[in-house]
Structure 1
């Protein structure tokens, strides 16, 4: 009989298997089963990168985060995050916030709150965890200074890629790439109904994003909705294999920076996202000059074990 080929991730179904704990954390959530879920694997130092990518594909969440010991002495924890297609992301959004919520809930942070430093890629980014009586903790994370990039030159093609009419776009307000860690295309729409009505052609949208150097696409409307939100948004990221993300801190930060730069907000921005996906979320962003800080809360909603 021919020899059974070995698998790069392990010995196969008949060999010994390792038990690897994982959790699901709902981030930017208003209650269980809302917000944006992130799969979290703590104490992942002994997992190779290939296993991390495969686990992210297995969970099939917008992002899966692995918590590791830091490589740099001035960091508290190191985080690595991957999308369902195994692509690594380096921004500090719900992927990172979920890890700190779990650290606080599991007693891994002295006193349950304080100021810490997270290592993400080559960046060291401050994190503040604040306990809240009778509620999950609030986590605030500083992002990178905003970068303002290219604008879309063909609004008709952008609208078509989003499944919308060009009249749905805000006239005279270009769709522009902005980044505070990850570079996303920010697209202003006239009405919340247009945000909900978008049905992107993934391949066509990916081509538009490639033309301006954008990773994902953040649709938003500043139309008031009675919820006190500064903007109402949806996020699509075909370049990373994410059809729709219900709460996106790496896009909310750039949007807040853009609104403040243009005088549409004073410095404190509240973004409602996830409603069209059935997972309502609330993201708070403070912009003070080049300092962009994203704040949110959430809670652990599931835990289990991978058998590898």
Structure 2
């Protein structure tokens, strides 16, 4: 069989920025083992497969796998990039200046709002799951060793290292400034152990001194549990961070939080998350940068 595939740079306004995502259309005939092998072939942080929905009300079902073959859930760059392709690529049609679609991810069906101007896609906004605040990490020394920093580099004055989920549970680690964020060199085995003990999937390290004064935080993401060395824009971690900042009173409820990520990788990205109580929504854009055909 032949299947079309595309690459989309997510959370980017120009090619070769943001977080690259490979996407395969019409994936219903592919079994899970083949999806995993295709994800390994593309060797991106994640590859998303677009399928017919299995739950009522959903427009499409999305399944996403990392290059080593771990399936990931939550509405992050894996989903936003897929919807940018579907809408900007003309595979689904919007009506008027705003259309709401619905995506099936795992056991959930979540809305996707797409805004248009003169028929062109301008922005995609995706609803996250209700925030779940999990375990905090008490052993700052072990966590610092896993990240390759000093214990005092972890900023415990206002926020604890904590696992938070808005669809995927990630360990959020506050650091004193972005120079320390850029200096991180994780020990994958030690970080894997710390994440396992805390019940987190990935690790989102951040500081509250972003490059741009209009932003809120500066972050990097590492996920040894899924074989991701580093990710340049992680919507499933940005949502939890925004929720935590509001819950802890760092940012007022009703705010839009802007998180900078990918700068250390040379792929600058900005993720916008609005928080209204338990309603968490991620917004962004993308650029279709490549397309081709898989001969299977």
Assess same fold via TM > 0.5.
yes
Which residue does the alignment assign to 2:214? 228
Distance 2:122 2:141 in 1: 44
Which residue does the alignment assign to 2:81? 98
1:157 to 133, 136, 142: 142
Q: Is the 8 A contact 2:88 2:120 kept in 1?
A: no
Q: Does 1:129 align with 2:114?
A: yes
Q: Which runs of 5+ in 2 are unaligned?
A: none
Which residue does the alignment assign to 2:30? 47
1:305 is paired with a residue whose SS is strand
Q: Is the 8 A contact 2:12 2:19 kept in 1?
A: yes
Distance 2:94 2:127 in 1: 21
Q: Does 1:196 align with 2:182?
A: yes
Q: 1:91 to 1:224 in 2, by over 3 A?
A: closer
Q: Does 1:288 align with 2:276?
A: yes
In terms of Rg, which structure is larger? 1
Which residue does the alignment assign to 1:30? 13
1:101-120 deviation per Cα after TM superposition (whole angstroms, max 9, x unaligned): 00111212223651011001
- The total of aligned residue pairs comes to 291
Distance 1:227 1:31 in 2: 22
Correspondence 1:167-182 to 2 at 5 A: 167-172=152-157, 173-182=159-168
Distance 2:121 2:221 in 1: 25
1:183-217 deviation per Cα after TM superposition (whole angstroms, max 9, x unaligned): 00000001010110000001110000001100000
The alignment's C-alpha RMSD in Å is 1.4
Which residue does the alignment assign to 2:57? 74
Q: Does 1:89 align with 2:75?
A: no
1:304 to 270, 273, 292: 292
Q: Does 1:209 align with 2:195?
A: yes
Q: Does 1:62 align with 2:48?
A: no
Correspondence 1:136-151 to 2 at 5 A: 136-151=121-136
Q: 1:184 to 1:204 in 2, by over 3 A?
A: same
Distance 1:215 1:136 in 2: 32
1:10-57 deviation per Cα after TM superposition (whole angstroms, max 9, x unaligned): xxxxxxxx3221100000113110000110001111111111011011
Runs of 4+ in 1 over 4 A off after TM superposition: 132-136
1:220-252 deviation per Cα after TM superposition (whole angstroms, max 9, x unaligned): 000143342100000000000000000000000
Distance 2:214 2:113 in 1: 25
Distance 1:301 1:286 in 2: 28
Q: CA deviation at 1:268?
A: 1.1
Which residue does the alignment assign to 1:11? none
Distance 1:265 1:171 in 2: 17
2:182 is paired with a residue whose SS is helix
Q: Which runs of 5+ in 1 are unaligned?
A: 1-17
Distance 2:15 2:111 in 1: 27
Q: 1:224 to 1:273 in 2, by over 3 A?
A: closer
Q: Is the 8 A contact 1:104 1:137 kept in 2?
A: no
2:266 to 275, 278, 281: 278
TM-score, normalised on structure 1? 0.92
Which residue does the alignment assign to 2:102? 117
TM-score, normalised on structure 2? 0.95
